[in-house]
C-alpha cells in the first residue's frame, strides 16, 4: 500500500512541476491597465486608467486628434489577455453603410460599424502575444494609428492629406488589399 501512495505523490509532484512553467508562460501573456497607461505615456500620449461597465480595466487616451478608449478582455484579477482600441465619431449627418462597408473591405484587422444614429465606430482587437509586451503593444498602436487616420478620412471627419510622392516599391502594391 505504501508503494501506491509513493506513485501518487510522485505523480502529483510531476504534475505540479509541469503546471508551473505553463502558469509562468500564461502570466507573460496578460497586461494590466496601469501597464498599458504607462506605455502609452512613454509613447507621448496622455492616458487615464479607469474601469469599464464590466469591472475590467479601461484606459482613455487620444490619438490622431480624437479620443480613444482601450478596452480589456480575457481578464483574471485585473490582468488581461487581449485589448481593443476603439473610437466613435459623433458626426452631424452620420455616414452611410456604403462608406463603412468600403472601409471594411479595404482593412483587414479592424472593423467599422454604425450606431443607431449612423455615427461611425472603429474597433481594433489584438491579443497580448509576446512576453516583450512593450514592443508588441507599440507595434499594435502604430498599426492602429494608420487605421485611424484612414478611418477619419473615409468617414469625412478629416480631409484627405496630400499623399507622398510615389516610390518604385509602393507602385507594386497598387490594387492589393491593405494589411491594416
Q: In this structure, are residues 112 and 122 in contact, taking their beta carbons and an 8 Å threshold?
A: yes
**Sole residue written with cell 509576446:** 130
Determine if the pTM surpasses 0.85: no
| pLDDT (tens place) for every residue of the chain, 180 residues total | 444 434 333 333 333 433 333 343 345 578 999 999 999 999 999 999 999 999 999 999 999 999 999 999 999 999 999 999 999 999 999 999 999 999 999 998 899 999 999 999 999 998 887 667 778 888 888 889 999 999 999 999 987 665 555 443 333 333 333 334
DSSP state of 162: P
- Nearest partner of 68 among 39, 43, 48, 92, judged by Cα: 48
User: For position 131, what pLDDT does the model report?
Assistant: 63
- Nearest partner of 157 among 95, 104, 85, judged by Cα: 95
Amino acid at each position: 500500500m505504501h508503494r501506491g501512495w509513493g506513485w501518487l505523490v510522485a505523480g502529483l509532484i510531476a504534475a505540479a512541476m509541469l503546471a508551473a512553467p505553463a502558469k509562468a508562460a500564461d502570466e507573460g501573456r496578460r497586461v494590466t491597465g496601469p501597464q498599458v497607461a504607462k506605455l502609452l505615456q512613454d509613447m507621448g500620449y496622455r492616458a487615464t486608467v479607469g474601469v469599464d461597465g464590466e469591472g475590467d480595466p479601461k484606459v482613455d487616451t487620444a490619438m490622431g486628434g480624437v479620443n480613444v478608449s482601450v478596452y480589456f478582455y480575457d481578464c483574471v484579477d485585473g490582468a488581461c489577455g487581449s485589448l481593443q482600441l476603439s473610437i466613435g465619431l459623433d458626426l452631424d449627418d452620420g455616414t452611410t453603410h456604403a462608406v463603412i462597408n468600403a472601409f471594411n473591405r479595404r482593412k483587414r484587422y479592424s472593423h467599422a460599424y454604425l450606431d443607431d444614429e449612423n455615427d461611425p465606430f472603429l474597433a481594433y482587437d489584438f491579443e497580448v502575444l509576446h512576453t516583450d509586451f512593450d514592443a508588441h503593444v507599440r507595434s499594435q498602436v502604430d498599426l492602429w494609428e494608420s487605421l485611424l487616420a484612414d478611418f477619419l478620412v473615409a468617414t469625412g471627419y478629416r480631409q484627405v492629406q496630400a499623399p507622398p510622392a510615389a516610390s518604385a516599391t509602393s507602385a507594386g502594391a497598387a490594387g492589393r488589399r491593405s494589411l491594416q
